[in-house]
Amino acid sequence: MIFFWTDTLFFLLLLMLAAAIFRARSKEHLRRPWRKVARSTSAMVSLTVLVFYFGFAILDSIHFHPPEGQGGEGKFKTEAMSLLDWWASPLRQRSEKTYSAPFASHGYARENSRGTDGVSHWAYPRLQFGGAHLADPEKGKFIDILQTGFAGLLDGFLAWLVFAALLIVARSRSGSITFSQCAYDIAEGRTEVPWRAVLLTLLLILLTSFGLGELSLTYHVFGTDKVGEDVFFQSLKSIRTGLLIGTLTTFITLPLALTLGILAGYYRGWVDDIIQYIYTTLNSIPGVLLIAASMLLMQAYMARHEDEFASLALRADFRLLFLCMILGLTSWTGLCRLLRAETLKLREMEYVQAARTLGVHQGTILLRHIMPNVFHLVIISVALDFSSLVLAEAVLSYVNIGVDPTTESWGNMINSARLEMAREPIVWWSLSAAFVFMFALVLAANLFADAVRDAFDPRRAE
């Protein structure tokens, strides 16, 4: 096992999330808003999608050194490998020479090849892997795609049946109703949590992923990029980058915004002045420019300490972490201002005044009386910021101040693909793949964030 910095922090974050959920389970007032989220159909559908994405990110965050002989060839030999790399080895290792369209069996550009008869042809070469099992791709390809795809869909459906059965068994056990009654309830949509919608989303996800997975064993379902790498594999790898940028940033924003915001609101006076000054100053520097400046400086730092970043992976990992930190530094000010305003209100409330007159220690007031009552703002802001951070990653990669060019990310995919729009025929598949993957994630995140805001914002409560 190898732990990169981002891996460790990501798992730490997941652990903290699990701890928070465990704590919230036993407290009725904490459960109430989440129950409201769980009743919302759009929230649960998006949560299903998000969990699916997180699953890939977790798979891609468990790194290890490949055992001898299984690590793949050439440049991959000494590099660390993630569970996803290992699982998707067929996708990772089968790279073509250059571009090829989705489901293509022949290359993108003509080239000179010498046939068996010794005469050279100017033709589209057969791909090394894509559709290589077909004797005559012209005839058999369509049927083969249908057959393989159908087999994949069937697998997906079976997997879904297992999930659905597990869910129904679990529900009928806890609710002590019969299996068929429970299944009937779900199918009719009469459950409190919209399980029917969740199961339908799951069915859709499983069908597409199994179908694509089965097909990707014999074809490049999203084509290949300039150096012949499978675009489907790249998109899967990019999930981790996007999610890390969206989540690890909270390690910087939350501590800063919480401590400074509460302190400024509670103590007022010169503490407030200084903190307000700090965040107004930081806020007045345009975010992209501050990030650009910091990334330039980080490159200079890495150049100076070259021996500390021996491997390419370490370097890329450090850059990803640094980007998260810088994004955090530029995005905590909004939350801090909200928290300050809320604390200003709370400190005049009777219960806080009562605590103060009873001589409760100030630290205790801040931690036990103020913080829990501003935390809904934190949850809302984290949920709302997530999608904008994922989108920001793509933009920053385009400006070359995003993640390392060797890290797979949607931004890098767009960046390398956009120049190919001028080609004839157009290389559209990298862009489309990045678009589909990003859109699904960001849409799910946006819908979920809206539901969270509706549930937690007291002004929107019924």
Interface residues with another protein (CB under 8 A) are: 277-278, 280-286, 288-290, 292-294, 296-297, 299-301, 303-304, 306, 387, 391, 394-395, 398-401, 410, 414, 418, 421, 431, 435, 438-439, 442-443, 445-447, 450
Q: Which is nearer to another protein, 166 or 285 (CB)?
A: 285
3-class DSSP state for residue 137?
Answer: helix
Q: Distance (Å, rounded) from C-alpha 55 to C-alpha 206?
A: 13
| Contact between 316 and 406 (Cβ < 8 Å) | yes
CB of 298 to another protein, least distance (A): 9
Contacts for 259-262 with beta carbons within 8 Å, 24 or more apart?
A: 260/336, 260/340, 261/335, 261/336, 261/337, 261/338, 261/339, 261/340, 261/343, 261/374, 262/339, 262/340, 262/343, 262/366, 262/370, 262/371, 262/374
CB of 305 to another protein, least distance (A): 10
Q: Which is nearer to another protein, 3 or 54 (CB)?
A: 54
CB of 443 to another protein, least distance (A): 4
3-class DSSP state for residue 67?
Answer: coil
CB of 157 to another protein, least distance (A): 28
H or E element at residue 449 = helix 429-456
Q: Which is nearer to another protein, 383 or 401 (CB)?
A: 401
CB of 280 to another protein, least distance (A): 6
| Contact between 46 and 448 (Cβ < 8 Å) | yes
CB of 393 to another protein, least distance (A): 9
Query: Residue 70 is encoded by which pair of tokens?
Result: 């299984």
CB of 406 to another protein, least distance (A): 17
Q: Which is nearer to another protein, 91 or 390 (CB)?
A: 390
Query: Residue 140 is encoded by which pair of tokens?
Result: 């058999």
Q: Which is nearer to another protein, 42 or 373 (CB)?
A: 42
Q: Which is nearer to another protein, 76 or 435 (CB)?
A: 435
3-class DSSP state for residue 361?
Answer: coil
H or E element at residue 184 = helix 179-188
Q: Which is nearer to another protein, 286 or 372 (CB)?
A: 286
| Contact between 317 and 285 (Cβ < 8 Å) | no
What is the rounded radius of gyration, in angstroms, for the C-alpha atoms of the chain?
A: 26
Q: Which is nearer to another protein, 80 or 401 (CB)?
A: 401
Query: Residue 242 is encoded by which pair of tokens?
Result: 């996007």
CB of 293 to another protein, least distance (A): 5
CB of 260 to another protein, least distance (A): 15
Residue 65 backbone zone (phi > 0: left; psi -120 to 50: alpha; other: beta):
beta
Q: Which is nearer to another protein, 11 or 435 (CB)?
A: 435
* Closest by CA position to 251, among listed 2, 15, 1, 3: 15
